[in-house]
Structure 1
Amino acid sequence: MKTNFEQAKKRILNIDWNLVSIDKPSHVILVTEFIRRGNIFLDFNSKDNNRRAIFNASEIIDFSMPETIKEENSRFISVNLDWTTEYLCDFYLEWSYAMDNEVPIALQFHDLYDPIIKLFERGGRISYHHNELVCGNHAWARNSGAITRDIPPQDISDEALDRIDHDNGGN
Structure 2
Amino acid sequence: MVKRVHEIDWNIARDPKQSHSVLLAEYLRRMAVFANTGFAIQSPLESPLKILNIENNDLLVEVSTVVEESLPNINNPIHYKICRNYLELAYIIEKGFSKALKVANMYEPIIKFFERGGKLRFDSDKALSCGSAAFVLNNWINFHSDRLETDISDPNLERIDLDNNQ
Q: TM-score range by the shorter chain?
A: 0.7 to 0.9
Number of matched pairs: 161
Cα distance change, pair 20–75 in 1 and its aligned pair in 2 (3 A): farther
Letter of the 2:118 partner, please give it.
G
Letter of the 1:142 partner, please give it.
L
For the 8 Å contact 1:125–1:135, the answer to whether it is kept is yes
Residues of 1 paired with 2:106 and 2:69: CA distance? 24
Residues of 2 paired with 1:141 and 1:165: CA distance? 23
Indicate the residue corresponding to 1:157 in structure 2. 153
Indicate the residue corresponding to 1:18 in structure 2. 11
For the 8 Å contact 1:45–1:61, the answer to whether it is kept is no
Post-superposition Cα deviations, 1:141-166, rounded to whole Å, max 9, x if no partner, equal 13323533232211111111111111
Letter of the 1:53 partner, please give it.
P
Residues of 2 paired with 1:76 and 1:66: CA distance? 15
TM-score normalised by the chain length of structure 2: 0.86
1:98 to 85, 89, 92: 92
Matches within 5 A, 1:1-171: 8-47=1-40, 50=42, 52-63=43-54, 65-131=59-125, 132-143=127-138, 144-169=140-165
- Secondary structure at 1:115 match in 2: helix
Post-superposition Cα deviations, 1:118-156, rounded to whole Å, max 9, x if no partner, equal 100000011112121011111111332353323221111
For the 8 Å contact 1:32–1:147, the answer to whether it is kept is no
Identity value in percent: 30
Gaps of 5+ in 2: none
TM-score normalised by the chain length of structure 1: 0.84
For the 8 Å contact 1:133–1:142, the answer to whether it is kept is yes
Residues of 2 paired with 1:114 and 1:129: CA distance? 24
Post-superposition Cα deviations, 1:24-71, rounded to whole Å, max 9, x if no partner, equal 0001110000000000111113246x4x22211221112364535423
Post-superposition Cα deviations, 1:67-108, rounded to whole Å, max 9, x if no partner, equal 354234324423342111101000000001111122222111
Letter of the 1:36 partner, please give it.
R
